[in-house]
């Protein structure tokens, strides 16, 4: 059992995954700092308000704090934008496509499908 565990821990996939997780958590600090210290002050300069977490309304005895949800959406969009721009810059530097839409899956053409259906119908 100990040998299996050592082999599992020494597996290249585990080491690669751990490295990715560690780098991801470190990169999170960079992105969070960029959003908090660069993007949000720019939004404050433009709109006069950056923190919408205080937005809420009351329904009876319940307070719906929709501002926190809006702030999470704003943060997500800013982080996604930063990551997209970072990857596009890396593409230019490396001359290699990193961000690209998924290719259309190749399959039979419409004509081939119709011929196959016709063949099945003729068998019956």
End-to-end CA distance of the chain: 58
Threshold 0.95, pTM exceeds: no
> Is 36 in contact with 51 (CB distance < 8 Å)?
no
pLDDT tier at 93 (50, 70, 90 boundaries)? confident
pLDDT tier at 98 (50, 70, 90 boundaries)? low
């Amino acid at each position: 059992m100990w040998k299996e565990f050592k082999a599992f821990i020494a597996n290249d996939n585990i080491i690669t995954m751990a490295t990715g997780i560690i780098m991801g958590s470190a990169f999170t600090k960079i992105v969070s700092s960029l959003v908090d210290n660069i993007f949000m002050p720019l939004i404050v300069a433009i709109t006069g308000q950056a923190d919408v977490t205080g937005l809420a309304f009351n329904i009876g005895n319940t307070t719906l704090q929709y501002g926190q949800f809006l702030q999470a959406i704003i943060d997500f969009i800013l982080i996604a934008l930063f990551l997209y721009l970072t990857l596009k810059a890396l593409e230019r530097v490396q001359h290699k496509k990193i961000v690209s839409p998924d290719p259309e899956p190749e399959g039979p053409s419409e004509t081939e499908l119709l011929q196959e259906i016709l063949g099945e119908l003729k068998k019956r």
